Structure 1
Amino acid sequence: MADNANQHVYPKADEELATPTFDSKEFGRKNRIKLAINIAAFLVFQIIVSLVFSLIVTRFRTPKVTLGMTMVTFTTQVRVKNTNFGLYEYDSTNATFMYQGVTVAQVTIPNGKAGLRSTKKVSVTVNVNSNALPSNTSLTSELSAGFLILNSHAEFSGKVVLMFVMKKKSAEMNCTMSIDLSTKEVQAMSC
């Protein structure tokens, strides 16, 4: 026993002084795994960025083609035909031009006089503006055909003067016209 008590276990000098062992194979394997994970994460990130870019930015859409505001200017003549044996004096009024029931132009016809049994001719310049039209009209097909069909309306108020006697008379204009867009002239008119 005494022998055992005096005996101390001493580690070997080599084991005591030895530094922890460095296994280069194990370290290289861990670095390769980390590198592979980083490369895989980068590739997944690049694929996600590419998908988002291709789905949002480079997605091809059908271009939308619409007809913008169309301006057609033409000159027409308003005729006030007086069938009376007296002078017809009328007040200034507005003539409205419509395309499929929508007002596309309005002109002012100044006040004037139509002599007895004669016709007063007033030239007006009409600027047709399609801005108020809904997009589902057949305006595009009419414009490509070269003709534009418009309706016009005006109400005249005035008086007929016959031998110092005045009688109030109103007149109304309702016409449909076809305008040749190449010459900008009214080709056909029905009133």
Structure 2
Amino acid sequence: MSKGEGKRNNKKCLAYVAAFVVFQTAIITVFALTVMKIKSPKVRFGSVSVDNFSTGNTNSPSLSMRLVTQFAVKNTNFGHFKYDNSTVTILYGGSPVGEAFIPRGRAKARQTRRFNVTVDISFAQLSGNPHLTNDINSGFLTLTSQARLSGKVQLMKVIKKNKSGNMRGIIDIACRLHI
């Protein structure tokens, strides 16, 4: 073997190593930009049903009801999302009329966790509100829901990042009252 052949083999080896390093850098970059990108989970209400609907009398129109809904936490990350205890608040005209407890839990990677939430709603503190009386008489009641789930997304048991899922929604209830 001549000295010129050894130099050519060294150059070939160096070219292969450089190509391998470039290839690995490209793979790591794609992995970091797709899989390792941590997003906030999506928090939503599913269908809502009204139970135990009751009204007051004509002199003091008031309402109470129980909303039963499916609550969904959609985790689009490649790691699980562990969230802390939280609450769902139902508002009427900016005033809270009901609240439900959401126990801490975990949404697995790239999955949606669904569970039922029951919210007892009472309009007793708003019985003198003229907007409430008008809405009751019109047959439509508009409520706003809000919740915030705070927790951590954990990727590969190494990377942990604080994230929170927020929900704000409108619930329209059609009610025909015979007072």
| TM-score, length of structure 2 as denominator length | 0.59
Task: Say if 2:60 is the partner of 1:66.
Answer: yes
- Distance in 1 separating the partners of 2:144 and 2:78: 31
> Which of 86, 95, 107 pairs up with 2:88?
95
> Which of 155, 159, 170 pairs up with 2:152?
159
The answer to whether the 8 Å contact 1:103/1:132 transfers is no
Aligned partner of 1:105 in structure 2 is 98
Offset of 1:168 from its aligned partner? 1.0
The answer to whether the 8 Å contact 1:102/1:132 transfers is no
- Distance in 2 separating the partners of 1:132 and 1:92: 27
The answer to whether the 8 Å contact 1:149/1:176 transfers is yes
Unaligned runs of 5+ in 1: 1-63, 183-191
SS at match of 2:59: coil
Distance 1:136 1:102, change over 3 A: same
Aligned partner of 2:167 in structure 1 is 173
| TM-score, length of structure 1 as denominator length | 0.56
> Which of 120, 125, 149 pairs up with 1:127?
120
Aligned partner of 2:108 in structure 1 is 115
Offset of 1:100 from its aligned partner? 0.5
- Distance in 2 separating the partners of 1:166 and 1:132: 43
The answer to whether the 8 Å contact 1:109/1:122 transfers is no
Task: Say if 2:83 is the partner of 1:75.
Answer: no
The answer to whether the 8 Å contact 1:88/1:160 transfers is yes
Larger strand percent: 2
Q: Give aligned-pair identity as a percent.
A: 38
How big is the alpha-carbon RMSD for the aligned residues of Structure 1 and Structure 2?
2.0
Report Cα offsets for 1:91-141 as digits up to 9, x if no partner: 110111100000000100111111112211121111110022262342233
SS at match of 1:79: strand
- Distance in 1 separating the partners of 2:74 and 2:65: 27
Distance 1:114 1:76, change over 3 A: same
Unaligned runs of 5+ in 2: 1-57
Higher normalized contact order (CA 8 Å, seq sep 6+, divided by chain length): 2
Aligned partner of 2:16 in structure 1 is none
- Distance in 2 separating the partners of 1:126 and 1:109: 11
Distance 1:134 1:67, change over 3 A: closer
> Which of 136, 143, 151 pairs up with 1:143?
136
The answer to whether the 8 Å contact 1:80/1:114 transfers is yes
Distance 1:181 1:156, change over 3 A: same
Aligned length: 118
